[in-house]
């Protein structure tokens, strides 16, 4: 799909609605008024979303450039993502779609600046594009006079979206942290919502899944922020010696670099917290497993003396005085119960049970 937008009073309108500049009557030599030929308006922004070959050729013919293919956009080496060709800047970043859930989709987005015109090539529809376009068509204080300002506005919308995602992710990580450390053992008993070991183990397994999803989201977000930082730094380095840049544009570029860097640091901090929670959750699972093994071990030791007594009196020797006792059987049972009870009381007193 190809969408094109032109500038009208510093906001964007579809190019189909503004094909020509309205002609103004001018006076000729003989005093008559004549209307000059309409002046075509070149779009400020070509937005290609999963473009067809015909649409790609149309934009290439209009600007005299060769658009990168999807395979070329997905290359990870820096020289294939940030370069100049045919008098245009080609800058590719990693954007994220589907950020409302925990399974974002990474997709490359290429920004191409040729003169005053911007071309964006993408194969997904991240929400910042729709949000920026809605604001740009209303005006809302946005300046969309050139393709560069449109690109900066898009990057600002993407970074704002990343900030919202990191804020939401941070709150959810705090909730997971409270969930991890809410169930503790007091005097040998579990306290908290998870009343038994089986339910507690299931809760911890679910928390590990949540932690893994948050970790994937943070990794993808950080990768996108790094690509934005490189894109903005590359654009700033190119335009600085080539032409005089407006003060507000320089300021917006510096703010973009600062925001991308600070959000990247915050994502790294959250990633460290995720790693800590993962280690803590695995540690709790190991503690529960050790507790189960300890119970089995203590039970085995407690029942060892009764087993020994039963083994002794299960021997078939002819000369065994206890065989003739009338109370031999009850005494053997009592001795087995007592030999099991004494280790149990000892273990309880030592706090092993």
- Give residue-wise pLDDT tens across range 251-310: 888 898 899 899 989 999 998 998 998 888 888 888 888 878 888 887 788 788 888 888
- 286 and 314 within one domain: no
- 165 and 31 within one domain: yes
Q: How far apart are CA 181 and CA 107, in angstroms?
A: 36
- 222 and 108 within one domain: yes
Q: How far apart are CA 336 and CA 111, in angstroms?
A: 83
- 314 and 211 within one domain: no
Q: What angle do CA 14, 20, 21 make, to 5 degrees?
A: 110
* Residue 32, both tokens: 């008559």
- 281 and 324 within one domain: no
What's the distance, Cα to Cα, between the start and end of the chain in Å? 69
Q: Is pLDDT above 70 for 25?
A: no
- 326 and 288 within one domain: no
What is the span of the domain harbouring residue 51?
2-292
Q: The domain that contains 147 carries what CATH number?
A: 3.30.460.20
**Number of domains present in the structure of the chain:** 2
Residue 187: per-residue pLDDT: 42
Q: Which residues pair with 122 in a beta bridge?
A: 49, 109
- 313 and 282 within one domain: no
- 141 and 78 within one domain: yes
Residue 21: per-residue pLDDT: 42
Is residue 297 a part of any domain in this protein?
no
- 339 and 256 within one domain: no
| Secondary structure E strands in the chain | 2-8, 11-14, 20-21, 26-27, 33-34, 39-40, 45-49, 82-85, 88-97, 105-114, 117-122, 184-186, 189-191
User: Which segments of 243-327 does DSSP mark as H helices, in order?
Assistant: 247-302, 304-312
Task: Tell me the per-residue pLDDT of 42-65, one tens digit each, with 9 for 90 and over.
Answer: 688 888 998 888 888 888 888 888
Lowest mean pLDDT among 40-49, 54-63, 120-129, 151-160: 40-49
Phi and psi of 249, rounded to 5°?
Answer: -70, -45
- Indicate the pTM of the whole model: 0.73
- 309 and 288 within one domain: no
Lowest mean pLDDT among 11-25, 149-163, 299-313: 11-25
**Which of 151, 168, 153 has its CA nearest to residue 104?**
168
**Who wins on pLDDT, 194 or 257?**
257
* Residue 317, both tokens: 């020797």
Query: Are 119 and 59 within 8 A, CB to CB?
Result: yes
- 337 and 227 within one domain: no
């Amino acid at each position: 799909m190809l969408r094109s937008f032109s500038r009208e009073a510093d906001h964007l309108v579809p190019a189909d609605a503004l094909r020509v500049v309205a002609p103004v009557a001018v006076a000729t030599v003989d005093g008559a008024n004549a209307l000059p030929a309409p002046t075509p308006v070149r779009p400020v922004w070509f937005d290609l979303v999963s473009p067809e070959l015909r649409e790609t050729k149309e934009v290439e013919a209009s600007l005299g450039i060769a658009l990168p293919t999807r395979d070329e956009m997905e290359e990870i080496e820096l020289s294939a993502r940030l370069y100049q060709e045919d008098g245009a800047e080609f800058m590719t970043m990693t954007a994220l779609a589907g950020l409302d859930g925990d399974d974002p989709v990474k997709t490359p987005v290429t920004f191409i600046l040729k003169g005053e015109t911007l071309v964006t090539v993408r194969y997904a529809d991240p929400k910042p594009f729709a949000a920026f376009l809605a604001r740009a068509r209303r005006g809302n204080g946005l300046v969309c006079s050139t393709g560069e300002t449109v690109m900066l506005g898009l990057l600002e919308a993407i970074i704002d979206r990343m900030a919202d995602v990191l804020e939401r992710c941070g709150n959810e990580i705090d909730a997971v942290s409270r969930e991890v450390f809410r169930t503790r053992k007091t005097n040998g008993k579990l306290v908290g919502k998870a009343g038994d070991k089986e339910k507690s183990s299931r809760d911890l397994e679910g928390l590990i899944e949540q932690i893994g999803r948050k970790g994937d989201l943070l990794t993808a977000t950080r990768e996108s922020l790094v690509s934005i930082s490189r894109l903005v730094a590359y654009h700033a380095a190119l335009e600085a010696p080539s032409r005089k840049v407006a003060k507000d544009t320089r300021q917006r570029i510096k703010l973009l670099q600062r925001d991308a860097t600070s959000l990247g640091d915050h994502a790294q901090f959250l990633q460290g917290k995720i790693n800590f929670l993962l280690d803590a959750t695995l540690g709790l699972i190991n503690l529960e497993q050790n507790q189960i093994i300890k119970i089995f071990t203590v039970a085995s030791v407690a029942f060892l003396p009764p087993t020994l007594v039963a083994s002794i009196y299960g021997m078939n020797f002819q000369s065994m005085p206890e065989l003739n006792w009338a109370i031999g059987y009850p005494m053997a049972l009592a001795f087995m119960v007592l030999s099991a009870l004494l280790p149990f009381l000892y273990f309880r007193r030592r706090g092993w049970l």
